[in-house]
A and B are shown apart, each in its own frame.
Chain A
Amino acid sequence: MPDLTLNVNGARHTVWVDPHESLLDVLRERLGLAGTKRGCDQATCGACTVLLDRQPILSCITPALRCRNRDVRTIEGVALNGKLHPVQESLVESGGIQCGFCTPGMVMTILAFLSENPNPSAEQIRRALSGNLCRCTGYAKIVSAVQRAAEVLRS
């Protein structure tokens, strides 16, 4: 088993991995970072979305070995010093969270999206979220939460 060094949420971790292991496996099973969810394991639901060098990726189909020495950011690294990120705050306040299983992946997608599109339209938000399936909310409150968060981040 090759060893692998990952930078996860600013901390370096070295683990032994099987070549077939996905980043999701390593995060959840080896590093104990269970905030990232395994929804389908087939690259369709988006629940496992994390940021790799600031880009959103599906960790369930990303081989862990491809992430050697790269920056991984997971949901555990979003709220700093116990303070929620405006995106998180906005999702909580607007009711964009029900069962919450899609939420960590959704947050990571939104973070990456807003950093490139600080002033998005509702249509652009829907397009950005279309790879993150949510079965509870009907998306309406998530979309409005993204709009609110965008406002806060711009101000």
Chain B
Amino acid sequence: MSRVIGHPTPYIDARRKVTGEALYTDDYRFSNALHVHFLRSPHAHALIKSIDASAAEANPRVRAIAVGKELPTAFGILPISPDETAMAIEKVRFVGEIVAAVAADTKQAAMAAAHAIRVEYELLPAVLDPEEALQSCEPGRQIHDHSRDRTNIHKTAELSFNDPEAGLQESTFVRSAEFKFAGVTHAFTEPHATWATYSPDGELTVISATQVPHYLQRTLSTVLGLPRHRVRVVKPTLGGGFGGKGDPFPHELITAHLAMKTGQPVRCSFSREEVFLTNHGRHPTTLTMSVGCDKSGKLTALHGDIVIDGGAFASFGVVTTYYNGVLLQGPYRIDRFGFRTRRVYTNKPQSGAMRGHGAVNSRYAVETLLDMLARDAGMDPCDFRMQNFLPAHTQTVGQLRITSNGVRECLEAVRKRSGWDQRFGKLPFGRGIGVACGFYISGSALPIIWNRQPQSVVHAKLDADGSIVIFSGASDIGQGSDTMLAQIAAEVLGVPLSRIRVVTADTSLAPVDLGSYSSRVTFMAGNAAKSAVEKVRHEIALAVSQERKVDADALCFDHERVLTADGQVDVSWDEAVEIATAFRGSFVESGFYISPKLGGDFKGSGAGLSPSYSFGAAVSEVAVNHHTGEVRVIKVWSAHDCGKALNPLAVEGQMEGSIHMGLGQVLSEELRYDNGRLLNANLADYRIPTALDTPEMDVTIVESADPEGPFGAKEVGEGPIHPVLPSIGNAIFDAVGVRMYELPITPEKVRRALRQGSV
């Protein structure tokens, strides 16, 4: 009787987006608005000796200037590491850090005034190499005072179960390698933008391109010293995030501060270069990984030693540090398991969360080593993986609870659809196919800021006009979560989508949802929405049952009618709404989601806990030119277990987007620095794949019906990226017989490997 759930559904805001009517942050206009421009550090590491803004102040078009000491409260998305201030105060820690800001009548005046501010710096030696950052150093070289032992180590995460080192020694086959991953960035198409207004009665409104309105509201309140109920955050239509708009940012705080200082609306809109300097992308990583198996190919032990380059500040880094290791506990059963990850501070823009957060690089390493072990054990790489999968309804060694699990079906699908059995190892030299699997969380079970509130609350309003309005704090960032909420309401109430309106991501209208990160929205906000509209349905059923003298449980909601199976009662939706709202008026029901208690009681047991996990597999086919080293990806077959595809159109879109982003990281994308200065801070030199570079895609949705997901659903936003990268690496080996340990895999690196004839 499903009408909406499970059917390909165009996004409810697609019509507004395709006509240009959808308003993104920078499309808003306020009269009497000021423009902000930031003065940024030209140095990677330096003390600020003095700031002279007198020339800027003299400009008659300048309305306010702000410097670091005005906003001294430290913040960070994670309350355990608030190490950042809105502007640098005593010293700068990367090229591009904001030192001062100007609000002026025009953008040009703001820029000119910002450039007229004189800052005197005393240069400090910059720490740019993560290896160096691990070593103890002179106090002057320490980026933050709070790092321990005179190093620049931000966080060490370590977990070990059942002595994996000994396990490796006892294994029949062991493969170890060192891998290197360049830093990559989200490259969303919409640059960061923020508007702030401050009303005469003291309410701050911030309209911003943010994935996390709730955390932004909290941070604005803390840093600006306003009570939270006087801070309103609104997220309009948003042009892509992928994790890159998942922190509260300095520019948001400063824009709000300048609105408070001037009493005028302030507009902040970034240039593309500024977007790059506000990176927060995937951590550059060096890791050594070892995996072992017995002679039958059963996995025995895994150990990883990982160093991740955090850049100047913490961002989500503590979580990343754990995720690099803990998310290797699936999709395979490995009972002797351990890792150590060290995140270091360096004088570069900070690294943070990016699609597939924390697990993409280490997944590449593991899946590459598994390919090598399969060969050692004389097994087909698909068979080798198949016999090591975790089952459903089990626990990993680190006590991650696995509920639904469709990984077997995923691998079978890509194996069959790619013609693996006829083609693997049999294609001519220069042509090859490779396979890999993936595993990811459907939302973090623990909120970032620990409290007893639900992770998501949704209100559903039934009005006398027969409409349903869903109020949710969830942030649609292009993944289609507004449509998902509307679909759930329509499904439960048996009405078409046109009856449903969705109001989201406005802290003054919608109840709290923690935001779009950790692939949590469909699972958590979806569950909350389902519960809210089920209560509305219950209220309507109760009212109709009393009036028509039937059992409430006998009533069905279908095709805009409320009826019994025998036709004894059959009222239209509008009639049912009239009955339900008689003598009480329109009403609102509230639903919420709280994760069940999960995990063990050891230190670090909270990392990677999720109410459910998604699984996936990919096969890629490549052509490698052995003269030039150029790798062309011809086709990618991807299968993903998303529990239940609430909207197959959106699920496919997320899978295809993951293939595109994975392809970019594996072959062409890299943030390149010279002495701490970003060399390719533009979309011409930072090469994301174009329509011509992106291969043919074949996507298969696997539905494992998660017992706790809404209608069985779990995530699809991030999981599908994981197997893409290693499947391409493994395909290169099948094509030309070289293993690639460094990403991106440029033609030079392939040529070098071919010359050296690596393993």
B30 CB → nearest A CB, Å: 13
Task: From known contacts A98-B653, A100-B13, A136-B240, infer whether A92 and B29 are also in contact, taking CB-CB under 8 Å.
Answer: no
B682's nearest neighbour on chain A, judged by CB, is A42
Interface check B219, CB cutoff 8 A: no
Check: A120 CB closer than 8 A to any chain B CB. Answer: no
The CA of A32 and the CA of B31, in the complex, are separated in Å by 13
Choose among B10, B479, B653, B694 the residue that contacts A93 (Cβ–Cβ < 8 A): B10
State whether B271 touches A41 (Cβ < 8 A).
yes
Decide: A84 and B15 in contact? CB cutoff 8 A: yes
Task: Decide: A137 and B656 in contact? CB cutoff 8 A.
Answer: yes
What band does the interface of chain B fall in when counting residues whose beta carbon is under 8 Å from A? Answer: 35 or more
**What chain A residues lie within 8 Å of B653 (beta carbons)?**
95, 98, 136-138, 141
Binding site for B on A (CB under 8 A): 28, 32-42, 44-45, 47, 74-76, 78-79, 84, 88, 91-95, 97-104, 107, 125-127, 129-143
Candidate in A132, A141, A142 with the most chain B CB atoms within 10 angstroms: A141
Chain A residues with CB below 8 A from B656, complex form: 137-141
Of residues A32, A97, A127, which shows the largest number of chain B Cβ atoms within 10 Å of its Cβ?
A: A97
Residues from chain A with a CB closer than 8 A to the CB of B29 are: 32, 34
Residues from chain B with Cβ under 8 Å of A143 in the complex: 691
Q: Given A84-B18, A136-B653, list of 14 further CB < 8 A pairs?
A: A37-B239, A39-B683, A45-B683, A79-B19, A84-B15, A88-B18, A94-B649, A126-B691, A133-B683, A133-B688, A135-B188, A138-B653, A138-B694, A142-B691
CB distance from B36 to the nearest CB of A (A): 16
B22 in contact with A135 (CB, 8 Å): no
Query: Which one, B249-257, B586-594, B657-665, is touching chain A?
Result: B657-665
Determine if B242 is an interface residue (Cβ-Cβ < 8 Å): yes
Can you name the residue of chain A whose Cβ is closest to the Cβ of B237?
A100
Cβ distance A45 to chain B, nearest Cβ, rounded Å: 5
Q: Does B684 contact A (CB under 8 A)?
A: yes
- A-facing residues in B688-705 (Cβ within 8 Å): 688, 690-692, 694, 696-697
Residues of the B chain whose Cβ atoms lie less than 8 Å from the Cβ of A131: 690
| Distance (whole angstroms) from the CB of A108 to the closest CB of chain B | 10
Residue pairs across A and B with Cβ atoms less than 8 A apart, 18 shown, are: A34-B26, A35-B20, A37-B190, A37-B239, A39-B191, A39-B272, A39-B683, A76-B19, A76-B20, A88-B18, A99-B240, A101-B240, A103-B18, A107-B18, A127-B691, A133-B187, A136-B653, A138-B697
Contacts of B186 in A (CB 8 A): 135
The answer to whether B649 touches A95, judged by C-beta atoms less than 8 angstroms apart, is yes
Taking a contact as CB atoms closer than 8 A, the residue among B11, B24, B478, B657 that contacts A37 in the complex is B24
Q: Which residues of A contact B650 (CB under 8 A)?
A: 95
With A74-B20, A140-B697 already in contact, the answer to whether A130 and B240 are too (CB < 8 A) is no
Q: A39-B190, A95-B650 are in contact. Are A135 and B657 (CB under 8 A)?
A: yes
Q: Chain B's nearest CB lies how many Å from the CB of A107?
A: 7
Contacts of A47 in B (CB 8 A): 189
Q: Once the chains bind, are A99 and B649 in contact (CB under 8 Å)?
A: no
Contact, CB under 8 Å: B692 / A137: no
CA–CA, A133 to B688, complex, Å?
8
User: What is the CA–CA distance of A32 and B22 in the complex, to the nearest angstrom?
Assistant: 13
Residue of B nearest to A92 (CB): B14
